[in-house]
Structure 1
Amino acid sequence: MILRLELVALAAALSLAAVPAQAAPTKGGEDLARDADAAIARMLDLSKPKASAAGEQCPTALADQVDALVARRGFDALDTFRRDAVLYAVVVCRPFDDPRAVAAARRLDRDDVAPPILASANMVLLADAAMRNDGKGELAALERAVAADAAQVTALPPEMYGQTVEDLKGDPAARVRALDLLRGLDWPTEDGHDQVDNDWALVRAELAADDGDMTRAGAVLDRASSLHVLLAVAQDKRFAPLWPQLEAAGRFDWKAVLEADLARVEEQSRREPANLKRIAYRVDHLRSLGRRDEAIALGGDYVGRLQRGEAFDDAELSGPMLVVIQAAALSEVGRFDEADAALVKPVAQDKLTQSTARAALLLALDRPTEVLKVVDAADTAIASPFGLMWLDELRACARHQLGDEGAAGKALDKLRKAWRDNPYALSGALLCTGRDDEAAQLMIRRLRDPPLRGDALKAFRDGPAPPVVTPRDAEIDARRRALVARPEVVAVMQEYGRAITVPLSGDYAGGY
């Protein structure tokens, strides 16, 4: 978990629940009670201002100590206060995906537990459910956490809850519950408000449009400023009644929208110089506007500082994203060696993001043997099923390039079984292996599926190519263009949306 937040919650909870040690009877034996008290006292020391200011983390010895306490005979017979405090120390000291933390959190998920502890325990359970793409489990834990202590939910970046919304795409009613809950919270950051007004607003508006409630759909989208969101609205016929007013208001002037967002992000970056997400957005916006020299100069400065160990507020969450965007900008001007050098050096515990991007770069450079080495060596310990499917796409494409159709077919079979978790991955694998008819049928299925339609329509955006395109990427793009021009595909697309031209490069056009 996020240790500093957890320690504050622990101190608050214990201040609510604690009773004098001498008045707390125990059936677990004096030695066990004394050892529990010592561990609790150490955790409270870590939550004090002096330790917090020093950035002191949960020591390994303390983590091992509380694990050992839980395993000792008589632990379950301890009084509730001591038992819950030790269990919570396990939650604090272990990573959210550690089975010991999850087991402790399950034991703490009770109505009689102090609200700060109950909320934090459910944050662990939410993360555990997300690892399995269990949307209903994620929603249940989210609702419990919000009811107990909403401040802990909003203390984390709003992007952390994007997977919950995604994992509920097969259950519109549950998805509405999750979105209304998240959008109704008092977010203390600009990122939170941005998520409410854009990504979450788009999904909520789609659900409202599906119910025929265009008044709600329009109201939800009123503050949308994200180019990705407005492009989705402009293509999806569910929003056709809103198109004239949005067009008249200049909200479909794509270059102006992106330039306005660039100015906004630059201002945010000046206020938050240690925020890497703002830098990543600036690099990506400059790249998409065709200002690649500026993008590369800005990104190169920050990637270098990050790789040299400079501290940033969100290095773990946004560092890999920045490196991937920088590598894309370098690749688009033919600086492939520099792109590879940036990707090969991990900048966060999440190594998978950079490894996946590096494998994709090597595939574009027609180096399939190296692709397989990178994919097979990728750290998938915390990968979601969605993330793992990107690796299977790369395996299928690399094996096909090597002429190993048996192995390519096995990777494709895995993608087919879970295609709704990541339809992009299956679509890309079908295109790169020459299965054009199946790719067309998949596109039709996606267009006819309301939760998947918006992403499928991205394939029907045309825009300028980057200055340098590898032969392999040119071949794949030609197949994509042929796919979206097939009469049977166009006919279905026109039932649900429209094709558009975007005067921007980068990732705003040419998807699949």
Structure 2
Amino acid sequence: MAPPRVSAQDREASTAYALRREEATTLALTTDELDAARTAMAAVMAEPLFETLGPGEKRYLASSAAWVEVRAGRYEAAAGFYRDAVRMDPGDPDDWHRLSMVEDILGHHDASIDALLRILESWPELYNGMSAGHVLALVRHLPRESDKRLELMLTLFESNWKPGEEAASTLWYELALTLVEREERERAQHVVDNVFWPDPLIRMQADRRFDGLLATDPTLVGDRLDVLVEGLASMAADNPRNLYTEHERMDAMLAAGRSTEVVAIAEDIVARIDGEDPRRPVYHDGDDLNATLAILSTALRREGRLDEAEAALRRASGLPEAGEPNITQRLSLASWYNARMRPAEAIAMADGLGVMAEAPDKAWRDAVLLHAAIIEGRSDDAMRLLDRLRAVADGNEALLMRALLRIGDVDEAAALYVRRLQDPRLRGDALLLAQRSLEPTPLPGELETEQRMDAMLARPDVLAAIDAVGRVQDYPVW
């Protein structure tokens, strides 16, 4: 049977509609004029010709509309469009990943993990493409007794997710702890043996729940760190155009105290990117230069080159972060300004984070503004900001505790710290804080807070609370 004939009028209408769709999606994906983009997308999706499109074309329009809402901070609307997109055409893993992220932001953690599990089931070869930050946040948000949470972690562990990366060791720590709490110590032992980054290892050594699963001698951390640095150096050599691998290697080297070498590596990377031919980029992911500069800033700080460290962080704060407005380095720079007793600059940098800022970013901003208020002697403003931090204390306990130390309330800070030790969910980070490791000399704006932190950790009630669940040791790592 011959296909039905299409009239010239119908072809013209179809062509005109295709042009309108292209204009709308270009607006949705590229412009900051979000109201105009939203109006254009709604118009093309409301036209009768929308129903004549194939599933893939419908999905693309719904996904583009969702991206407008994400950038506007309208996550309920974004989730609705992403749900429509995967219903119209479930064959795009990026939409499942974005749906997972939005569902997590909305607090729909089971739906978020279902979307990730769908990716692992349908596209197992893409497991390493999952956002480490999203996976770790989702694992923190889900209750520890969640079977889906355990399924996700076990699936990624068995896939050797992100080998050598810090995110993997952090996830394996969570997996090992979950197995310990479920009294599956033999399985936990296998997971513990695959943790190589210092912080997760130190958390486990300090925590009596892990006794018998790894040696408590601090030299274990240094030994595994040496193996890690060597392995990452080999990976970097095998992937010379992968900037992300270089970042992991430099972070591990910083932990090992090799800041002079990191400065040389990072400065070479920056020079090569600055001098590259845009048609032949040096790195596949050279748009992550902001992360290189942040690492360079840390290394320069440890070398005592403070003005150069600030310059690197300032440049990093002006670059996009993973293609989005930069929040992490802006807040890091604001914290730096406070540490150097320049609160006005801290306030200017912390204000106006934009709609992409999520709840943890806003809590960090309030902590920065509180610090600035204290430096400027604005005690009423500081107390108002402290109340805001108290209101969002769940998940931001470390920020709140440090804010309490800043205002001089060591008693309340100590009480909060003891509660963190007693809470099985928060114990690992609390024990990590008590360990003694290498640190740069505090900057002027941090000195008093660090002294109060030391005094808090030396209190008899705090020491007793630590001893009830863990131990404190000295570590020759940063």
TM range (shorter): 0.7 to 0.9
Which of 83, 105, 113 pairs up with 1:106? 83
The equivalent residue for 2:34 is: none
Aligned mates of 2:253, 2:166 — CA distance in 1? 22
Aligned mates of 1:179, 1:21 — CA distance in 2? 51
Paired AA for residue 177 in structure 2: E
**Alpha carbons of structure 1 residues 369 and 66: separation in structure 2 relative to 1, 3 Å:** closer
Cα shift readout 1:49-104 (whole Å, capped 9, x = no counterpart):
xxxxxxxx9888xx89982664434256x14x536523324425874824676443
Task: For 1:212-231, list aligned pairs within 5 A.
Answer: 212-231=183-202
Task: For 1:74-153, list aligned pairs within 5 A.
Answer: 74=48, 78-79=51-52, 82=54, 85-91=57-63, 95=67, 97-98=70-71, 102-110=79-87, 113-117=88-92, 119-132=93-106, 134-153=108-127
Task: For 1:486-501, list aligned pairs within 5 A.
Answer: 486-501=459-474
Q: What SS does the aligned partner of 2:112 have? A: helix
Q: What SS does the aligned partner of 1:342 have? A: helix
Give the C-alpha shift of residue 293 in structure 1.
2.2
TM normalised by structure 1 equals 0.77
Aligned mates of 1:414, 1:83 — CA distance in 2? 46
Aligned mates of 2:394, 2:275 — CA distance in 1? 40
The equivalent residue for 1:17 is: none
**Alpha carbons of structure 1 residues 152 and 255: separation in structure 2 relative to 1, 3 Å:** closer
Percent of aligned pairs with the same amino acid: 23
Task: For 1:225-240, list aligned pairs within 5 A.
Answer: 225-240=196-211
| Mapped pair 1:167 → 2:141 | yes
The equivalent residue for 2:233 is: 266
CA RMSD in angstroms, aligned pairs only: 3.6
**Alpha carbons of structure 1 residues 89 and 141: separation in structure 2 relative to 1, 3 Å:** same
Aligned mates of 1:263, 1:23 — CA distance in 2? 66
**Alpha carbons of structure 1 residues 479 and 414: separation in structure 2 relative to 1, 3 Å:** same
Aligned mates of 2:61, 2:360 — CA distance in 1? 31
Aligned mates of 1:186, 1:31 — CA distance in 2? 52
Of the structure 1 ranges 417-426 and 454-463, higher mean CA displacement relative to structure 2 is found in 417-426
| Mapped pair 1:278 → 2:252 | no
| Mapped pair 1:396 → 2:373 | no
Q: What SS does the aligned partner of 2:425 have? A: helix
Mind listing any 5+ residue stretches in structure 1 that lack a counterpart?
Answer: 1-19, 47-56, 506-512
Q: What SS does the aligned partner of 1:403 have? A: coil
**Alpha carbons of structure 1 residues 441 and 23: separation in structure 2 relative to 1, 3 Å:** farther
Q: What SS does the aligned partner of 1:217 have? A: helix
Give the C-alpha shift of residue 325 in structure 1.
2.3
Which of 404, 416, 423 pairs up with 1:442? 416
The equivalent residue for 2:347 is: 372
**Alpha carbons of structure 1 residues 131 and 330: separation in structure 2 relative to 1, 3 Å:** same
Paired AA for residue 54 in structure 2: R
Of the structure 1 ranges 484-493 and 135-144, higher mean CA displacement relative to structure 2 is found in 135-144
TM normalised by structure 2 equals 0.83
Aligned mates of 1:447, 1:21 — CA distance in 2? 72
Which of 350, 363, 378 pairs up with 2:338? 363
Paired AA for residue 197 in structure 2: S
Paired AA for residue 215 in structure 1: E
Mind listing any 5+ residue stretches in structure 2 that lack a counterpart?
Answer: 32-36
The equivalent residue for 1:253 is: 220
Is this contact kept in 2: 1:275–1:313, CA < 8 A? yes
Q: What SS does the aligned partner of 1:243 have? A: coil
The equivalent residue for 1:298 is: 265
Paired AA for residue 252 in structure 2: H
**Alpha carbons of structure 1 residues 503 and 153: separation in structure 2 relative to 1, 3 Å:** closer
Paired AA for residue 338 in structure 2: L
**Alpha carbons of structure 1 residues 351 and 161: separation in structure 2 relative to 1, 3 Å:** same
Is this contact kept in 2: 1:393–1:429, CA < 8 A? yes
Is this contact kept in 2: 1:133–1:385, CA < 8 A? no
**Alpha carbons of structure 1 residues 70 and 142: separation in structure 2 relative to 1, 3 Å:** farther
Paired AA for residue 240 in structure 2: P
Is this contact kept in 2: 1:32–1:69, CA < 8 A? no
The equivalent residue for 1:502 is: 475
Give the C-alpha shift of residue 371 in structure 1.
0.9
The equivalent residue for 1:427 is: 401
| Mapped pair 1:484 → 2:457 | yes
Paired AA for residue 491 in structure 1: A
Is this contact kept in 1: 2:144–2:178, CA < 8 A? no
Is this contact kept in 2: 1:36–1:69, CA < 8 A? no
Aligned mates of 1:160, 1:304 — CA distance in 2? 31
Is this contact kept in 2: 1:459–1:484, CA < 8 A? no
Give the C-alpha shift of residue 394 in structure 1.
0.8
Give the C-alpha shift of residue 133 in structure 1.
5.0
Is this contact kept in 2: 1:205–1:218, CA < 8 A? yes
Which of 324, 329, 333 pairs up with 2:299? 329
Aligned mates of 2:341, 2:5 — CA distance in 1? 71
The equivalent residue for 1:344 is: 314
Aligned mates of 1:64, 1:498 — CA distance in 2? 55
**Alpha carbons of structure 1 residues 262 and 254: separation in structure 2 relative to 1, 3 Å:** same
Aligned mates of 1:23, 1:428 — CA distance in 2? 72
